Structure 1
Amino acid sequence: MSIGNSPEEDRPSIGRVLQQARIAAGLTVDEVSGSTRVRIPIVHAIENDDFSRCGGDVYARGHIRTVARAVGIDPEPLVQQYDAEHGGRPVPTPAAPLFEAERIRSEPRRPNWTAAMVAAIVAVVGFVGFTLFHGEDDGTSTAHVAEGSTPDKTATAKPTPTKPADPKPVPSESAIAAAPLDKVTVKLSATEGKSWISAKDHSGQILFDGLLLQGQSKTFQDEERVDLVLGNAGSIDLFVNGKKVQDQFEPGQVERLSYAKGDPEAG
């Protein structure tokens, strides 16, 4: 009989894994909090394996997934580890009542042919009476015209001229293609997946801090400089001052970049 630690005991804790991944990605707790909208005290608590501040298992799983994606690692093994350590997921509600409701649904009502026939008779009688009444008016009007009165030509309704449709606007040129020379313009497009990004102007003011989902784009401008942090640089197409930057970024790679009005010579 051997004495030693089991594989589960040797496995690092959830908080330790997230902390090491954050440090490896070059991110601070403040940056992770800003990109995930998870408050700083909760990020600290999770890295210390204290999930009591998350507000329950559902929120704890959501925070683990969000923080893991922000630091560039797969969240599912950590969620499975959390479930194993905290009693697993709740049992889903069985779908039997839904099918029971489908079985007891009442049959559609058959059409009431008697009521339909009565309605048809009433409609016919009304139409005949309407025709007779207006027939007498038409006769009087015809006799009056025959006596010599001339219809007023001015009373004839003139067709309303049709207003021509407004021409469709011609699509403008791309905002990047028309980048002003007196500013630095940076465009980020997530083409290979999502990425956490942070963008600041030359004074350090945050222009954007969050996730850029696949298919989304963001454009930033400043008078002097734009500073970038890309959490998953391999998924981003980067355009600076109207030119695409040919990079060699890898998926999951964290890049810190800075561009001015004269770039992308540096890129």
Structure 2
Amino acid sequence: MSNGNSPEDERPIEDVYHDVSEDVSEDDRPSIGRALQQARIAAGLTVDDISTATRVRIAIVHAIEADDFTPCGGDVYARGHIRTLAKAVRLDPAPLLAQFDAEHGGRPAPTPAAPLFEAERIRPERRGPNWTAAMVAAIVAVIGFVGFTFVKGGDDGGSEASVAEGSEPTAGATASPSAKPKKPAAPKPDPTDSAIAAAPQDKVTVKVSASEGRSWISAKDHNGRLLFDGLLKQGDSKTFQDSEKVNLVLGDAGAIELYVNGKKIEDDFQPGAVERLTYTKGDPEVG
């Protein structure tokens, strides 16, 4: 397919570039559009080929080759298109850009960066009182006051309780006129007396203590029902009750102390002796 090129336009691209950029005077130098067009034709490319390769629209390529830079949208975009098209047709874009700047009032000065990127000064925002923080502080204060009052009241109550129980009041404290002296505590019962001292009179109560060592014992009620059968270790004790009588078998009577109906039995049991005993409501007499 013929591009309609004249014989002089079929010269190699190096000759075209040489004619455009070096040996031609400024007055005889072709225009920017003419130079790009000649280089394109020399490269054997159509406008469609250039548009596809550079992504510059066909209408803009035609306009630039006609030295009409209005469709570019401004000098900055025109310079970019010139550089792109020049590289596509293997021309040095620098002379073309210099020619464009000379014909269009020079290269545009760069836009100052300060006005574009200077951050707007933020004015301090006036804020109202922080009611949430105030409410939290008030709640904390109330809780602290209640806790202090509770602790203080507990301390006072403890002091009063101590005085009421008969402890010595601190120096300078005034005793209440209505306070009564504490009664002396009842003396503790003798260790030999046990709960069976208050045993009911209508029953027989027998307490067996292994005070001198361990001993095997067996206890039955008046019907022969087994109440206990086992070994008492030293220091252990057992208590049995029945409405009529209690039957005992002591494996080592010398290690045992007996309390019947609240009274200690003074029998002279020998160590290792086996004793069979029966106690009734009228004892400490042996039945």
Tell me which of the two structures has the higher relative contact order, counting C-alpha pairs closer than 8 angstroms and 6 or more residues apart: 1
Larger radius of gyration: 2
